[in-house]
């Protein structure tokens, strides 16, 4: 059977894949596993639970709280807040675990549940596996005074806003910023924190009704934000996803500023302030070569990992680094957050604009975007990719042809019979030609063989 936990918790269609029964069972199992590994240390445990505004989050959060309370955990219900806010509150409150109901940038019918351990840390793979193995087991239920209590946590947003403002290196006075909150979890918090930081704020995508989260707004649909920034003559715009763990930006001309450009700007700012530990940024192999070259020219090392914020975070912790992230806008500032935080990222970016007096477009020009061509080659034997010498030789020839003017990356999909071919080059036409040749080789060498049944 496929593993229930993915790279970011358990996710699927609400009330089909992600049911109230599953949320309750997962919560009970999580409480049992964390108790066994000593997270509770013999005391009465406390959990912080939050959700994004999607309608299904209402019954799923109730089921999650019920499961935890039935296992003897006292629950603090923080209501609708961004994912990084729940992670922060788990640490700030000294809670033993946290749970967030959200499907991030996914459409409204989806939902998911992710758990945080003490300190607001993501659960390790082995703990998730143990939780999955304990689902629906027989267990001795606490009785009387030992059952958990569920209480609201009305000051959760206040605590999170206070934290964000406390780490801001420079106020935002004089900036006009448009915020696209995706009708999501940032809708109430983001305008408040940016205004209190000194900015003049215009909000779009800020009317969540439980059904419209990520619907044509947010970091996956930046067109409205681009139009609003230009029409209003704003200094910049920021787009968050449904649970506000990602942030993309738009400069005053309406041009998109992606996660690579944001990380380049923040890395240079942090190096200047002496807080970029090891003068190193952690990014994935999908980050643009232009970012890597620009930062290396500035004396900053770029450590690259596999695709996924989990791998970025692991490398950051292993190396003791302070900054990492993905091209998608999922940026981790480990001195101030345990996970990607879109509002924190946006504040730091806007702070740099205010501090330097330079436009966002000017700051982003530190790196040149190399054109990227990404082609998904479907219906191939991805397992044979690494051992196929003809594919390897084609890659070597392509790399020799591009030299320092580009790069090649072939990687297997984690869930589909797909090989992803990515080519970067200074010239977009050259990248397309090289990618097309590689795709032809992959198709020829890794074509799935027909089964005996099909031949019959």
- Please give the mean pLDDT across all residues of the chain: 94
Q: Model confidence at 133, in pLDDT bands (50, 70, 90)? A: very high
| pLDDT (mean) for 270-274 | 97
pLDDT band at residue 6 under the 50/70/90 scheme: confident
Beta bridge partners of 422: 374, 409
- pLDDT(448) > 80: no
Q: Binning pLDDT at 50, 70 and 90, where does residue 310 land?
A: confident
Q: Terminal CA-to-CA distance of the chain, rounded, Å?
A: 28
Sheet strands side by side (includes 176-180):
200-204, 176-180, 236-240, 247-251, 256-257
Instruction: With cut-offs at 50, 70 and 90, classify the pLDDT of residue 140.
Output: very high
Q: What's the CA gap between 298 and 336, in Å, rounded?
A: 24
Q: Examine the pLDDT at 233 and tell me if it is beyond 70.
A: yes
* Residue 38, pLDDT above cutoff 90: no
Answer whether 164's CB lies under 8 Å from 348's CB.
no
CB atoms within 10 A of CB 3: 10
CA distances from 399 to 5, 155, 431 (A): 36, 55, 11
- Which pLDDT belongs to residue 455? 41
Residue of 330, 291, 327, 335 whose CA lies nearest to 309: 330
Q: Is the pLDDT of residue 207 over 60?
A: yes
452 pLDDT more than 50:
no
Which band of pLDDT confidence, cut at 50, 70 and 90, is reported for residue 213? very high
Report helix angle 259-273 to 289-297, nearest 10. 10
**Residues, the chain:** 456
Q: Confirm if 96 and 102 have CB atoms less than 8 A apart.
A: no
- Expressed in percent and rounded to 5, the helix, strand and coil fractions of the chain are 40, 20, 35
Confidence of residue 327 (pLDDT cuts 50, 70, 90): very high
How far apart CA 20 and CA 291 sit, in angstroms, is 44
Whole-angstrom distance, CA of residue 156 vs CA of residue 293: 41
Angle (CA) 386 316 274, round 5°: 135
Q: Collapsing DSSP states into helix, strand and coil, what is residue 302?
A: strand
Neighbouring-strand partners of residue 230: none
Contacts with 145 (C-beta within 8 Å, 6 or more apart), sequence order: none
Model confidence pLDDT, tens digit, residues 335-350: 999 999 999 999 999 9
| pTM of the model as a whole | 0.91
Which one from 102, 104, 187, 219 is the annotated catalytic residue? 104
CA distance 324 to 386: 28
Residue pLDDT, tens place only, 347-360: 999 999 999 999 99
Weakest mean pLDDT among 175-189, 209-223, 365-379: 365-379
Residue 104 bears catalytic tag: yes
- How many other C-beta atoms are found inside a 10 Å radius of the C-beta of residue 166? 8
- Which residue from 225, 291, 218 is spatially nearest to 259, judged by alpha carbons? 291
List CB contacts of 404: < 8 A, sequence separation 6 or more: none
Query: To 5 degrees, how large is the angle CA 331–CA 334–CA 338?
Result: 85
> Quick one: pLDDT at residue 306?
85
Q: Which is nearest to 99 in space by CA: 35, 81, 157?
A: 81
Rounded-to-integer distance, Cα 24 and Cα 65, Å: 8
């Amino acid at each position: 059977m496929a593993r229930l936990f993915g790279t970011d918790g358990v996710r699927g269609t609400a009330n089909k894949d992600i049911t109230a029964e599953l949320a309750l069972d997962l919560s009970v199992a999580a409480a049992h596993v964390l108790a066994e590994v000593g997270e509770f240390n013999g005391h009465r445990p406390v959990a912080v639970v939050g959700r994004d505004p999607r309608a299904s989050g209402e019954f799923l959060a109730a089921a999650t709280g019920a499961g935890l309370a039935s296992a003897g955990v006292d629950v603090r219900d923080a209501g609708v807040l961004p994912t990084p806010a729940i992670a922060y509150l788990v640490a700030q409150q000294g809670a033993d675990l946290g749970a967030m109901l959200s499907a991030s940038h996914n459409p409204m019918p989806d939902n998911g549940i992710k758990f945080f351990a003490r300190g607001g840390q993501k659960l390790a793979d082995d703990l998730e596996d143990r939780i999955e193995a304990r689902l629906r087991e027989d267990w001795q239920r606490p009785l009387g005074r030992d059952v958990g209590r569920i209480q609201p946590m009305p000051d959760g947003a206040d605590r999170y806003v206070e934290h964000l403002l406390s780490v801001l290196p420079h106020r935002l006075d004089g900036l006009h910023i448009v915020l696209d909150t995706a009708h999501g979890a940032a809708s109430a918090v983001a305008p408040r924190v940016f205004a209190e930081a000194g900015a003049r704020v215009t909000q779009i995508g800020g009317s969540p009704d439980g059904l419209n989260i990520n619907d044509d707004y947010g970091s996956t649909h930046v067109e409205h934000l681009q139009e609003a920034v230009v029409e209003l003559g704003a200094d910049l715009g920021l787009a968050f996803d449904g649970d506000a763990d990602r942030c993309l930006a738009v400069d005053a001309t309406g041009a998109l500023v992606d996660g690579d450009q944001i990380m380049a700007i923040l890395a240079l700012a942090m190096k200047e302030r002496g807080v970029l530990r090891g003068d190193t940024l952690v990014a994935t192999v999908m980050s643009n070569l232009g970012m890597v070259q620009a930062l290396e020219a500035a004396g900053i090392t770029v450590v690259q990992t596999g695709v996924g914020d989990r791998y970025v975070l692991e490398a950051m912790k292993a190396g003791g680094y302070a900054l990492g992230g993905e091209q998608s806008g999922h940026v981790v500032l480990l001195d101030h957050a345990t996970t990607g935080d879109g509002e924190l990222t946006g504040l730091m970016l806007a702070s740099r604009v205010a501090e330097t007096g330079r436009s966002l477009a000017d700051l982003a020009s530190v790196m040149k975007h190399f054109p990227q061509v990404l082609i998904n080659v479907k219906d191939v034997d991805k397992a044979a990719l690494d051992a196929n010498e003809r594919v390897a030789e084609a890659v070597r020839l392509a790399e020799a042809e591009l030299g320092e003017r580009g790069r090649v990356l072939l990687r297997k999909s984690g869930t589909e019979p797909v090989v992803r071919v990515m080519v970067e080059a200074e010239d977009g036409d050259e990248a397309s030609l090289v990618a097309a040749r590689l795709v032809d080789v992959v198709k020829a060498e890794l074509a799935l063989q027909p089964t005996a049944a099909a031949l019959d």
